[in-house]
Amino acid sequence: MAIQLVRVRTLPHLEDVKGKHLLREIQSTLHISSITGLVTAKVYRLEGISVAQAEFLARHLLAEEVFQTYTVNETIIKDADRLVEVAYKPGVMNPEAGSILKAAADLGISEMVAADSSYEYGFYGTLTDDEINLILSRLLVNETVERVVTEKPTTLIIKGQPGDTRIIPIRKMDDRALIELSRDNLFLNLEEMRAIQKYFISLDRDPTDCEIETLAQTWSEHCVHKTFKATIMVDGQVKKPLYQRLRESTQQTAHPLVLSAFEDNSGVIEFYEGLALCGKVETHNSPSAIEPYGGAMTGSGGVFRDIMGTGKGAKVIASTDMFCFAPPDLPTDEVPPGCLHPHYLLRRVVDGVRDYGNRMGIPTNNGSVHFHRDFRAKPTIIVGAYGIMPAADAGKGQAVSGDLAVIVGGRTGRDGIHGATFSSGEMTHRTIDVNASAVQIGHAIEEKRMSDALLKARDEKLIRAITDCGAGGFASAFGEMGENTGVRIHLDLAPLKYQGLAPWEIWLSESQERMALAVNPAHMERLADICREHNVEVTVIGEFTDTKKLEVFYHDDLVCELAMDFLHHGIPDRTMTAAPQKRLVEVTEPPVPDNWEQICIEIMQHLNVCSKEPIVRMYDHGVQGSNALPPFAGVTGDAPNDAVVIAPVLGKKYGAIIAHGLNPVLNTIDPYAGSLWAATEAVSNAVATGANPDELVLIDNFIWPYPDEESLYDLDQAVDACVDFVKATGMPFISGKDSLSSTYRAPDGSVIKIPPVLCISCFGRIKDVTQTVSSDFKRPGSVIALLGQRDINQMGGSTYYDVTGASSPKVPLIDLTSLTNTLRSLYRAIGNDAILACHDISEGGLLAALAEMCLGGGIGATINLPAGNRADYFLFNETAGCFLVELADQVQAEELFRDIPHIILGNTTVEQNISFTQENICIFSVSTAKLVKAWQKPMQEVFGGC
């Protein structure tokens, strides 16, 4: 069938925004001066329709006549010196393709059989072949999923015959053969492979490829968390499993708001007026490392579906993102083989999160970005989501025998295969090639339609149980839903994106935007009607049974039959040994600065302190109209707040508060102290805004190197820190996730352990969103006070030590008793309207917090440093759980905070500079304008005006 080409570009007299941004990046990042101009065009290929129909779609669907022009079967960029087209590779799911087909059908053109889209780039200037190739490889083409189009396709339809189900002769394999079978895709150890071998010997048969893949997915570190469930040996002493410690500490709090903890796709707490809040935070490190745009998109989409799959279904009301990268200016020759440059990773990950959240209409309103050179081997990509639902629907649903197994949403393709097992293994130089099929491109509009349909079905009580098709696809979803009953699935009924998938590929595919449901047969007709109303595909692909077996058919062939007990409980128990590593950190202290202004500027422009506003502005944090306290505030709207406050029920004063904390640098030096810091930072951010510490709950995300004995010891210490934090504060963990594959193994055998990350997220309810406070100073003449117990001489891991080249193994230690008292005292003061502004102290120390507050108010400050302290340590110490507050007068401050550690530091001033004195001697003064310029510079250089 004929393929019609429609090309669309911005009208020549208007600015080509995409081309402008790309040109700036080529010039500033790649330093190619021979390029003088760049224009872009969108290319659409439409198969099965006439030229007239293509003209109709171009005019009514694909181009906006106010600012765009189009051609049909003709070039549109005619005078460029070089013209290059970049498209997704065949088989990579292009989200636009499905939307084009559906929109065309809605416009009355149903003859179209396939569609695709791509971009054309027109380059102007005397570029060499080497320069063009550099632009393509560094900025435009990720060879994992994209290609340069050199030949016009004869068809867009992907054809193929499904592969046969293979029998794996595991019963005859020796240990070497078992490990070889596992190496690239299964990521199971020898003991686990032997357990599978023994099971099939007992059945007197060999497994199918579908059965082997199902077991590998279910037993993967990503899905079963076997390290967290292992018995830990430390110095010959037996310790409880990590997961058990976290659960028991939460249970011991008996927190009155917790409705569901560690039981469902997200944790759930009681909200107000019969409603419930839920939260979940996930990682998508491995997919993002090899295709950052698709990896980040599907990370966001996946965690949204965790919320949609909690209880009987929740509405997503907020999104968060926390990233860790190597510096964007890292020399190219320092990027390990098989890894992508951090500048490209940073920009494309941000693009992915932006596009998914914005297109679904979900506000991305809390996050952070962190940098460390050792993230050059693999980034850490953390995404979170929060939702609201009726409390009556918050309990995890359970399928019963006779229920229908239903799939709702997107179709199944080859994308995402081996995603669960791939995310459980070390990264190597081969990963980007061997595991390319684990990459997916999300389709946010599909998920939005599905979400709306499922919420309506929930409200009509049509859903017995629901979960998302996350890691492992159908295998994970229906395998878990049918654990207590049994389930029979017919893969030939599953809607496919294209033909040619083997049965095990259909079963294990992680294609996005799909949810699995258990539905009473009596409700199926109404569910189908709702899905039809929302333009969402729904298909019955099986039924739940009473056999306690997983049975998977492809037509008449039984391709998988496993006992549920073996599938979920047959994995061998682990006992793992943890041993401390010797950390040889040289102690070198910096001299007291002789150029204070320069040190302050270096602190403010440090990548871990600088403003991330250019990133935040890409996200629509105001969509849904719920933002009561946005990410930025102040007189010019560019001063960062510590947490986000949303009012998700329109017309109601009550709301939700969301915050987080992490510090990979501290975890690298001292995992116990660094983990306490992360939890303290998360909670401090929330309380600084007005949260009640007694109504906050926590989510943990451990992103750790592959657990050898030393990394396992560090992980053990981090979990102990979390448990101690729960015991001291009464704040429970109600959800969590571990990702234990942050290790890179180079071709020469050398190993890079990516810095361990513990991200603690925090959320809770707040009675009145108007009883909150922002970080910006409100007026001149106010009193500035410092609250909290500081460990002032512990400077290891600080930004100050980094910029001065100093080092120490002694990082700030949190006094948990003092912290608890400080949090409660601050909450009472905010609730009594005594606090005008509040900002917690974190990276950059007191100086950075003070500068940000001055920036927000458009004013300055005079600060008197207490005697007996090193002035530089007092200014730059980063002990978490400490706060700068603005109050009306000193008497008020002394009265409010008499029972907790506090210091009156000085006053706000009209002059826009900050001056520091100690013992009546002026140490230095610096203009806020210089600090702000330094603070805003780094990310502006990366993102410009994007």
Residues annotated in a binding site for Mg(2+): 282, 306, 468
- Of 763, 766, 693, which Cα lies nearest the Cα of 734? 763
Catalytic residue among 255, 284, 343, 370: 284
Token pair of 763, please?
């959320």
Token pair of 61, please?
């669907």
Q: What is the 3-state secondary structure (H, E, C) of 222-284?
A: HHHCCCCCCEEEECCEEECCHHHHHHHHHHHHCCCCEEECCCCCCEEEECCCCEEEEEEEEEC
Token pair of 463, please?
């859903």
657-669: b or e for each residue (b if 16 or more CB lie within 10 Å)? bbbbbbbbbbbbb
Cβ(554)–Cβ(474) below 8 Å: no
284 as an active site residue: the answer is yes
Cα dihedral across residues 829, 833, 834, 837: positive or negative = positive
Residue 683: DSSP 8-state: H
773-802: b or e for each residue (b if 16 or more CB lie within 10 Å)? bbbbbbeeebbbbbbbbbbbebbbbbbbbb
Burial of 318 (0-12, 13-18, 19+ CB in 10 A): buried
DSSP result, 157-225: ----PPPPPPB--GGG--HHHHHHHHTTTT---HHHHHHHHHHHHHHTSPPBHHHHHHHHHHTSHHHH-
Detail the residues annotated as belonging to a binding site for ATP: 280, 700, 736
Detail the residues annotated as belonging to a binding site for substrate: 305, 440, 510-512, 739
Q: Sheet holding 860-865: strands in order across?
A: 837-840, 883-887, 783-787, 902-909, 860-865, 913-918, 921-927
Q: What is the 3-state secondary structure (H, E, C) of 113-154?
A: CEEEEEEEEEEEECCCHHHHHHHHHHHHCCCCCEEECCCCCC
The residue assigned the tokens 């409705």 is 259
Residue 291: DSSP 8-state: -
Catalytic residue among 222, 418, 534, 902: 222
Q: How many CB atoms lie within 10 A of CB 489?
A: 26
Cβ(677)–Cβ(812) below 8 Å: yes
Burial of 678 (0-12, 13-18, 19+ CB in 10 A): buried
Radius of gyration of the chain (CA): 28
- Of 209, 602, 717, which Cα lies nearest the Cα of 417? 209
Q: Sheet holding 3-10: strands in order across?
A: 68-72, 3-10, 35-47, 114-125, 82-88, 146-148
What residues are annotated to the active site? 222, 284
